[in-house]
Structure 1
């Protein structure tokens, strides 16, 4: 009988299962995010109606039956495994068609993620100039470093960077929101992730005891065929 090498179980903290994106009341917010990672667009209205228009300028359509989109009881919109093709404008209205909030989102392709480790001397992508009628600057807009993944011992932390375009004297925009339906084959137009080592002391006051739910257990052996293991509700944002 084949001896098992290990048992792999998947669990997650129940209170941190969702990544919420918020925007001020009656405002429009532009956001770059990564494809394949679940998010919730916040709209606090129980009778909210959600509309969508793609980045190529199609008419707004009511979001009522999409396989990976679900309106939550409080009115917010949950997107599971969003894809680059779903980049565009998400508009939340009340039942009298009044604007509540708008999100213009560029879901940048996670499969093209450029990953570097700072402590290994690996360099992130450099700023470059792209000619589209005039010259524009393509650069990475870095988010803050996330928390260290361990305490009391050496660990690692990461930060995400998104592709942005800036025209002279203009406000920078996420790349696909700027390009819209422009067909550009350019390897610099992709997101990044940078990793570095970290060490932080443990702080008992910040330790939160949360219940965990085990989704599944896999038994792996020497003759196990290659497998793709997915952790439900895992997110690169945490």
Structure 2
């Protein structure tokens, strides 16, 4: 007998589902993010031109050929499932080539994510030192805990941590923005996620209005031995 599978899809793209990264006017902002999770780099200029230079030191070039990028109507840049190979400098300019904003992004490899559960006694990665012609300090820069996934009953919450390098007296920076084209094979150079139990009251003020859904039903045929399911609004940042 054929099995049936109910899949959910949206009838229109939803911008608020994207994680928005913003930076002050004419500033350079460094950021570590996870690969494979959609983001939007903010640039408030309708005629914006986006340029890119990778961490490998390539010459800067106009972004117009990557299949996973899209310039939004307001000028911001949407990246769908960005990869570690796309780490580098994203520069937004106006039509006169004047700088509006710059982002230096380290897309850390989500496939190497170190996951631990705090309440199971599992430990996050330890701080370490690495000799690169001089000692540098490697540590995890943790983001705040995200919201509990349930209310009025036991749930879980998570926080993300990114690999950072510190070489005093310089400020810490994301690992691969520091290492760039340095050939280093070291298991400590990876992002983390930590999970813990939580119990919180329900807050009606946090309820959000759900968009319109389309429900489709597909049948798995006899020759189908696997299927890949995609959740359109899924993001590790929420």
Q: Which residue of 2 aligns with 1:53?
A: 53
Alignment of 1:5-44 (within 5 A): 7-10=5-8, 14=14, 16-44=16-44
> Which 5+ residue runs of structure 2 have no aligned equivalent?
none
Is the contact made by 2:158 and 2:196 (CA closer than 8 Å) also made in structure 1?
Answer: yes
Is the contact made by 1:55 and 1:181 (CA closer than 8 Å) also made in structure 2?
Answer: yes
What TM-score, normalized by structure 2, do the two folds share? 0.92
Distance 2:230 2:142 in 1: 27
Is the contact made by 1:164 and 1:173 (CA closer than 8 Å) also made in structure 2?
Answer: yes
Matched residue SS, 2:105: strand
Report how far residue 38 of structure 1 moved: 0.5
Q: Which residue of 1 aligns with 2:92?
A: 92
Q: Which residue of 2 aligns with 1:134?
A: 134
Distance 2:225 2:44 in 1: 46
Alignment of 1:47-196 (within 5 A): 47-196=47-196
Once the two structures are superposed, residues 78-136 of structure 1 have per-residue CA deviations (whole angstroms, 9 ceiling, x without a partner) of 00110000000000001111100000000000000000011111100000110000000
Q: CA RMSD in A?
A: 2.1
Matched residue SS, 2:33: strand
Distance 1:158 1:173 in 2: 23
Once the two structures are superposed, residues 173-200 of structure 1 have per-residue CA deviations (whole angstroms, 9 ceiling, x without a partner) of 1000000100000000000000111111
What TM-score, normalized by structure 1, do the two folds share? 0.92
Report how far residue 64 of structure 1 moved: 1.5
- Which ranges of 4 or more aligned residues in structure 1 deviate by more than 6 Å? 220-224
Q: Which residue of 2 aligns with 1:235?
A: 235
Is the contact made by 2:151 and 2:201 (CA closer than 8 Å) also made in structure 1?
Answer: yes
Distance 1:171 1:140 in 2: 14
Distance 1:156 1:116 in 2: 12
Distance 1:53 1:196 in 2: 38
> Which 5+ residue runs of structure 1 have no aligned equivalent?
none
Matched residue SS, 1:164: strand
Report how far residue 167 of structure 1 moved: 0.7
Deviates more, 1:208-217 or 1:118-127: 208-217
Report how far residue 56 of structure 1 moved: 1.4
Count of residue pairs brought into register by the alignment: 236
Distance 2:49 2:92 in 1: 6
